[in-house]
A and B are shown apart, each in its own frame.
Chain A
Amino acid sequence: KQEVTQIPAALSVPEGENLVLNCSFTDSAIYNLQWFRQDPGKGLTSLLLIQSSQREQTSGRLNASLDKSSGRSTLYIAASQPGDSATYLCAVNRGNTPLVFGKGTRLSVIA
């Protein structure tokens, strides 16, 4: 059974700092890994989708990497801003199946 772990559970950084969020999964036979952002009381916003044949994806200040063999992914946020404060969720699946989520990392960027 697939399990997804995210470390740390919470992170507080000063504005402008670069940071890395970690995600690990137990079953490397995944097809896709997706990073989401969830603001308090809101739904989920997809940030990046990495297919299993890819090693990384970039969108603006965000860069997500995937190492299937070791069961790990990282989300790198460059030059963090207070507006980046949210919970970041990592999720994996196989093909067109439901996502298995980690419990998230709650990020606070202090101005």
Chain B
Amino acid sequence: DTAVSQTPKYLVTQMGNDKSIKCEQNLGHDTMYWYKQDSKKFLKIMFSYNNKELIINETVPNRFSPKSPDKAHLNLHINSLELGDSAVYFCASSKASGRTQETQYFGPGTRLLVL
């Protein structure tokens, strides 16, 4: 019973390629997130979606485009991959409940290596 799943788990690709990472949650949550963990293991938010609408977009190059076909899915498409995009990308979800927040649940991560 995977709560938050991501595919693929590993992704090795050449510079300049376009790739997508998929995320699905079966928790019935309203809010989904993409985080990036760099080589120094520092986790930072990239995007946040609530009910399929973008609510947070941190300073992320526009080569990164999140897409939410429904509130259970938040996919991440990356154009023209660069060496610096190599990182672990985590998807997460939480229940939207106004001021009080439930726990954020994280996927297992997608390890992207750009050569």
Verify that A and B bind, or say they do not.
yes
A95 contacts B by Cβ under 8 Å: yes
B107 contacts A by Cβ under 8 Å: yes
- State whether A46 touches B104 (Cβ < 8 A): yes
In the complex, which of the residues A36, A42, A89 contacts B108, with contact meaning CB atoms closer than 8 Å? A42
B101 contacts A by Cβ under 8 Å: yes
Given A95-B99, A95-B100, A96-B50 in contact, is the A89-B43 Cβ separation under 8 Å? yes
A48 to B58, CA, bound (A): 26
Stretch in A66-74, A75-83, A98-106 with 4+ CB within 8 Å of B: A98-106
CB distance from A86 to the nearest CB of B (A): 12
- State whether A101 touches B33 (Cβ < 8 A): no
Which residues on B sit within 8 Å (CB–CB) of A45?
Answer: 106
- State whether A98 touches B48 (Cβ < 8 A): yes
Which residues on A sit within 8 Å (CB–CB) of B58?
Answer: 98
| B81-111 interface bits toward A, Cβ cutoff 8 Å, 1 = contact, 0 = none | 0000000001010101111111111111101
A100 to B99, CA, bound (A): 16
Task: Sort chain A's interface into a size bin.
Answer: 20 to 34
- State whether A103 touches B98 (Cβ < 8 A): no
In the complex, which of the residues A31, A36, A97 contacts B56, with contact meaning CB atoms closer than 8 Å? A97
Give residues in B with beta carbon < 8 Å to A. 31, 33, 35, 40-45, 48, 50, 56, 58, 90, 92, 94, 96-109, 111
Please, could you name 27 A-B residue pairs with CB atoms under 8 Å apart, sorted by A? Answer: A31-B101, A32-B101, A36-B106, A42-B108, A43-B90, A44-B106, A45-B106, A46-B106, A49-B103, A87-B41, A89-B43, A96-B31, A96-B98, A96-B101, A97-B56, A98-B33, A98-B35, A98-B56, A98-B58, A99-B35, A99-B104, A100-B45, A101-B43, A103-B40, A103-B41, A103-B42, A104-B41
